[in-house]
Amino acid sequence: MVLDQDLVRHLSESSVSVELQTEEMTLNIGPQHPSTHGVLRLVARVDGERAFDVQPVIGYMHRGYEKLSEVRTYPQITTLVNRIDWVAGYANEVPFIVAAEKLLGIEVPERAQFIRLILSEMARISSHLIFMASYPLELGAATPLFFALRERERVLDLLEGVTGGRFHPNFNRIGGVKPAYGSGSSTRKVIQDLPAGFLAETRDAMDKVMAAVDELEQLVADNEIILARTKGIGILPTEVAASYGVSGPNLRASGVKFDLRKVEDYLPYHLFDFEIPVGENGDCWDRWHVRLLEIRQSVRIVQQAIDSIPSGPLQAKVPKIIKVPQGETYVRAENPKGEMGYYLVSNGNQGPYRLKIRSASFSNISILPWILEGVLVPDIIAIMGSLDFVLGDVDR
């Protein structure tokens, strides 16, 4: 190790010196690390406890989604795409399918849209509960992890009851949601509509999630140690956030009241009454609190949607082999992590010609070199955790 010989020599030479000459050290945080949400590598130059230059190195999890999409058909890509942000599986499929539907020009039936909305909001609750679980764990408190994951199990059980998969639902089809097993000529079509008891279980689960969110707030929100660790740490000013392309709860915590659910029309959010929580200071505590409030708003949306699901077909009339006509479009959606967009270029085949994925976490962590300048090493962990990114979303 280079450090100790030089430091020892310095210490032995400087007998009575006012300033102790210290050397900087290059500390490699990751890629295998308990707190980096995946395989993120931070090359940090630290001087004692203070880091003055942090560069993230990404790409350890690049799976080549955009290249894979060039040789696959739309149902196959739907399967692949919900592995981008694996914590909120359903939310990744929706904008992709909406993009294909826009090019085709078909209209999705109401019941399918409601089911998509309910499952998207459940994906949001699931993602934010993971954040509630892992962020206090990085700060040192181990108990909120178990409380939050206990509630997330209820949401995942609901998702499994409808779609068959907990993390990778694969429930969207062009024109609606998955209607049935078995194709047109089969004798035994198993309709994949909502199973019996789904509405009652959802109401029950949503009540329990609200109670658990209250309990988590009581356990974590006022805790003096949490406040000392997160208030005033990692302040992200509004202009910087906007200029780096940060989106989602991070942007809202910095004071910008912007939510794509109110702006875009990929799902019928205009039918429901919900608020957008906005933070004041843009520090870590605000980012945590905005996500907590968003869980409550999502629960409100699900409760309203459950009470007013229309009946009807699950998928629009589409031909068996779907060829999307030539054209290009960009659809963006409010994913739990931020803004996710798909730029779809099609040339009339069964699969896209080019699919560009704009993932939320990639833009969110572009802010790391700016925000981590001059902070202490424990604060690096606190700030990184509060940005809530997932490496699958960063690297695709």
Partner 1 sequence: MTTTTPTKRRVIPGMGMVKGLWVTIYTMFRTIFRPGKYLATINYPKVKETPVPRARGVIALDQEACTVCMLCARNCPDWCIYIEGHKEEQAPSTPGGRVKVRATLDRFDIDYALCMYCGICVEVCPFDALFWSPEYEYSETHMGEMLHDMDRLQDWLETVPPDPELEK
Partner 2 sequence: MNFLTELFSNFWVSLTGKLLLVALMIPLIGMVIGYAEMKLSAKMQARVGPYFAGGRWGWAQLIADGVKFFQKEDLVPDEADRPVFKIAPVLVLVSTVAILVIIPFGPGLIFRDLEVGIFFALAISSLSTVGVLMAGWSSGNKYSLMGGLRAAGQLIAYELPLVLAVIGSVMLAGTMSMSGIVEAQISAGYPFVILQFIGFGIFMIAALAELSRIPFDMPIAESELVMGYLTEYSGFRFLFFFLAEFANMFSLSAIAVTLFLGGYWLPGIPEDVLAYAGPVILLGKTFLLVFTMIWFRWTFPRFREDQLQSLAWKWLIPLSLANIIITGAFKVYL
Q: Which of 67, 150, 189, 262 binds partner 2 (CB under 8 A)?
A: 150
Task: Examine residue 183 and tell whether it contacts partner 1 (CB under 8 A).
Answer: yes
Q: How far apart are CA 229 and CA 216, in angstroms?
A: 17
Binding mask 187-206 for partner 1 (x = CB under 8 A): xx-xxxxxxxxxx-------
Partner from partner 2, partner 1, none binding residue 197, C-beta < 5-8 Å depending on class: partner 1
In the complex with partner 1, the residue whose CB is nearer, 180 or 316, is: 180
* Interacting residue with partner 2 among 59, 140, 232, 325 (CB under 8 A): 140
Query: Is position 178 an interface residue for partner 1 (rule: CB under 8 A)?
Result: yes
> Toward partner 2, which CB reaches closer, 150 or 189?
150
| Interface segment toward partner 2; rule CB under 8 A; list 143-151, 187-195, 242-250, 346-354 | 143-151
Q: Which long-range contacts (CB under 8 A, 24 or more apart) does 238-241 make?
A: 238/282, 240/367, 240/370, 241/282, 241/367
CA distance 363 to 58: 12
Minimum Å distance from CB 200 to partner 2?
24
**Residue 1 in the binding site for partner 2 (CB under 8 A):** yes
At residue 226, the 3 state secondary structure works out as helix
Place of tokens 């992200």: 236
Within a 13 Å sphere around the CA of 90, how many CA atoms are in the beta-carbon half?
Answer: 28
Binding residue (CB under 8 A) for partner 1 from 219, 316, 376, 377: 219
Least distance in Å: CB of 378 to partner 2? 5
What backbone phi and psi angles, to 5 degrees, belong to 51? -95, 130
Q: Is residue 258 part of the contact set for partner 1 (CB under 8 A)?
A: no
Judged by CB under 8 A, the chain residues 70 through 99 that form the site for partner 1 are 72-73, 75-77, 79-80
Region binding partner 1 by CB under 8 A among candidate stretches 20-28, 42-50, 121-129, 150-158 = 150-158
Tokens representing 291 are 């996500």
**Amino acid letter, 149:** L
Which partner from the list partner 2, partner 1, none does 168 bind, CB cut-off 5 to 8 Å by kind? Answer: partner 1
Q: What is the DSSP string of 114-147?
A: HHHHHHHHHHHHHHHHHHHHHHHHHHT--HHHHH
Phi, psi of 344, deg, nearest 5 = -110, 125
Q: Is 153 in the site for partner 2 (CB under 8 A)?
A: no
Helix (H, G, I), strand (E, B) or coil at 231: coil
Picking from 112, 113, 134, 121, the residue whose alpha carbon sits closest to that of residue 90 is 121
Contacts to partner 2 by CB under 8 A: 1, 3-4, 25, 27, 33-35, 49, 136-143, 145-147, 150, 219, 223, 225-226, 228-229, 376-379, 381
